[in-house]
């Protein structure tokens, strides 16, 4: 193994080690991770909230033993592969070892580390964007049409992972039209590559058609409940924060497209960046949706800086370019990562309240960030449900009904009762409810503000409150578990009607 590859392997290893160190042992999995993990038991070409790629990795996680180690492994892997692509792109463009290691350091100690701690589509999304850019750079560098087909593969699997890859396609197309590289649109192999991408994405498109485009309903819900508090100006002002420690490299990359002759042919990336940001801002996207734009820019910024710092006294500044990203990362680490217990982090946020780091999707300020609160209380909930399940008659079918997918997924992941499966009327779970068996008992899992009515209790012979989540730092604090035994009415019929009503909401028109 030569020095170049040895250093690359070292960065990959460091990436994995870092990702596991950035989460304190006191935290559990995130509510969104549970939904993706449960999709492994219901493999399909699409889901209400996401395309299918994440479910494939969930299936592998279950094959490997369903441990939290493997849940954290895959986003770390996608982050590591993103670094590998950037490194290889620098090599392809003739960059030095300094340029490679500078870019790798900048990406290692950046906002990518925050995204890569969670098993969500975001990590693969950034990898897919970087792969598309890498393929297009390789095409313009070598003029080999095979890279246009690889670009199509990137688009295809990117689409099967997260639909935001369409923003990449639109921004990239507009960027190319602004430069002489627009001639690519005359190349029939471009359409061959895009056709290949369409073939890869086609199963999910067909699934959307068959299921009346639930993605439209999902986007409508996002606009009403999650994106409603997104400010377009804040979206743009937050962009530099993702790579605040290495912003000087990104600035260098933007300058290089106009001052460094070898990069003239890649100027379309400059225009693509701003077109894509404008499109995201128009649709009030969350700021992190755009992170996939940046890794490839470190290719050009690092090479450009390596040229500038190669002569005279400037070469003594090279160590500083490594130290700045690392120093800034270490400084902000307690603010953006769950490296300490919730109680200790609360004190950190109290001391830095002006930074506005604990505002949730509801627009209100809380004691810890929403993501961290979403990683607490789940094991306690699963234990309560196990207690309730043990009290129900073992020879009768007992159904666990939850208020949201986080509760259902967490119970299914952490429960120690073999075969226990919780359901909910939210997200994809509404399509997974098995009503083929007669329901005699029900375990209700309700949010703190959701009261269990006397009418619900009247449907059963016995009723018992089991307990509630007590962790004050959990978003689900107060969520209660209630056992109902001996159904006096047809619970299956009631749920069948509820499922029909819920599914009607998912129709995209």
Mean pLDDT of 440-448: 95
Looking at the fold, whether 312 and 346 belong to one and the same domain comes out as no
Give bridge partners of residue 308 from the DSSP assignment: none
The verdict on 332 and 383 lying in the same domain is no
**Domain match, 347 and 405 both:** no
User: Are residues 57 and 167 both part of a single domain?
Assistant: yes
> What is the pTM (predicted TM-score) of this model?
0.93
Short-list 214, 219, 217, 193, CA closest to 204: 214
**79, 103 in Cβ contact below 8 A?**
no
420 close to 41: Cβ distance less than 8 angstroms? no
* Long-range contacts of residues 279-284, Cβ cutoff 8 Å, at least 24 apart: 279/167, 279/170, 279/171, 280/167, 280/235, 281/232, 281/235, 281/236, 282/232, 284/223, 284/227, 284/230, 284/232, 284/235
pLDDT band at 358 (very low <50, low <70, confident <90, very high): confident
Please tell me whether residues 311 and 167 are part of one structural domain.
yes
**Which domain-ending residue is among 351, 373, 395?**
373
pLDDT cut 90: percent of the chain above it = 79
- Neighbouring-strand partners of residue 117: none
Q: How far apart are the first and last CA of the chain?
A: 57
Q: Are residues 433 and 501 in the same domain?
A: yes
Please give the residue range of the domain that contains residue 347: 342-373
In this structure, the answer to whether residues 430 and 348 fall within a common structural domain is no
Instruction: Give the C-alpha separation, 321 to 304, whole Å.
Output: 13
> What tens digit of pLDDT does each residue of 191-216 get?
999 999 999 999 999 999 998 888 88
**For the segment 232-287, what is each residue's pLDDT rounded down to a tens digit?**
888 899 999 999 999 999 999 999 999 999 999 999 999 999 999 999 999 888 88
Q: What is the pLDDT of residue 227?
A: 56
Residues in CB range of 283: below 8 A, 6 or more apart:
none
My answer on whether 442 and 347 are in the same domain is: no
Judge whether 155 and 164 are in contact, CB under 8 Å.
no
Query: What is the average pLDDT across 380-402?
Result: 95
Task: Give the chain's domain count.
Answer: 3
Residue 170 has pLDDT above 90, yes or no: yes
Indicate whether 32 and 165 sit together in one domain: yes
* Bridge pairing between strands 397-402 and 439-446: parallel
Average pLDDT, whole number, for the chain? 93
Confidence of residue 224 (pLDDT cuts 50, 70, 90): low
**Are residues 365 and 416 both part of a single domain?**
no
Calpha distance 196→212 (Å, rounded): 25
**329, 246: one domain:** yes
Confidence band, pLDDT 50/70/90 cuts, at residue 509: very low
* Residues 425 and 329 reside in one and the same domain: no
Name the DSSP letter for residue 178. T
């Amino acid at each position: 193994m030569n020095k170049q590859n040895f250093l690359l392997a070292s960065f990959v290893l460091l990436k994995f080690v870092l990702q596991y160190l950035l989460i304190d042992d006191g935290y559990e999995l995130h509510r969104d991770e549970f939904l993706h993990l449960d999709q492994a038991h219901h493999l399909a070409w699409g889901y209400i909230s996401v395309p299918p790629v994440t479910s494939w990795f969930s299936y592998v996680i279950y094959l490997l033993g369903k441990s939290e180690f493997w849940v954290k492994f895959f986003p770390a892997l996608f982050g590591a592969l993103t670094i590998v692509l950037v490194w290889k792109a620098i090599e392809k463009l003739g960059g030095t070892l300094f340029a490679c290691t500078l870019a790798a350091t900048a990406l290692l100690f950046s906002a990518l580390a925050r995204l890569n701690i969670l098993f969500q589509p975001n990590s693969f999304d950034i990898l897919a964007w970087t792969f598309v850019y890498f393929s297009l750079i390789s095409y313009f560098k070598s003029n080999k049409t095979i890279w246009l087909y690889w670009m199509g593969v990137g688009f295809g699997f990117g689409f099967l992972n997260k639909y935001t890859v369409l923003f990449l396609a639109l921004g990239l197309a507009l960027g190319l039209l602004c430069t002489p590289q627009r001639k690519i649109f005359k190349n029939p192999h471009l359409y061959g590559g895009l056709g290949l991408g369409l073939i890869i994405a086609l199963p999910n498109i067909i699934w959307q058609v068959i299921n009346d485009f639930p993605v439209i309903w999902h986007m409508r819900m996002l606009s009403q409940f999650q994106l409603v508090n997104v400010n377009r100006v804040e979206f743009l002002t937050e962009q530099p924060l993702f790579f605040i420690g290495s912003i000087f490299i990104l600035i260098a990359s933007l300058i290089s497209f106009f001052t460094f002759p070898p990069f003239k042919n890649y100027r379309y990336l400059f225009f693509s960046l701003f077109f894509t940001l404008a499109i995201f801002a128009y649709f009030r996207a969350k700021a992190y949706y755009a992170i996939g734009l940046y890794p490839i820019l470190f290719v050009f910024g690092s090479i450009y800086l390596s040229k500038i710092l190669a002569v005279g006294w400037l070469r003594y500044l090279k160590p500083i370019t490594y130290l700045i990203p690392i120093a800034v990362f270490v400084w902000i680490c307690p603010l953006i990562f769950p490296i300490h217990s919730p109680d200790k982090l609360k004190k950190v946020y109290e001391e830095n309240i002006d930074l506005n780091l604990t505002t949730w999707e509801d627009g209100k300020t809380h004691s810890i960030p929403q993501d961290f609160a979403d990683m607490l209380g789940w094991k306690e909930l699963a234990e309560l449900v196990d207690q309730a399940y043990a009290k129900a008659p073992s020879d009768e079918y007992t159904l666990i009904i939850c208020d949201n997918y986080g509760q259902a997924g967490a119970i299914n992941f952490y429960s120690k009762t073999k075969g226990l499966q919780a359901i909910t009327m939210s997200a994809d779970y509404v399509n997974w409810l098995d009503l083929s068996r007669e329901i005699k008992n029900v375990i209700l899992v309700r949010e703190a503000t959701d009261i269990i009515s006397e009418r619900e209790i009247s449907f059963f012979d016995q009723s018992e409150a089991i307990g509630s989540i007590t962790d004050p730092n959990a978003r689900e604090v107060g969520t209660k578990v209630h056992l109902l035994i001996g159904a006096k009415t047809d619970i299956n019929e009631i749920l069948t009607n509820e499922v029909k009503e819920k599914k009607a909401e998912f129709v995209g028109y």
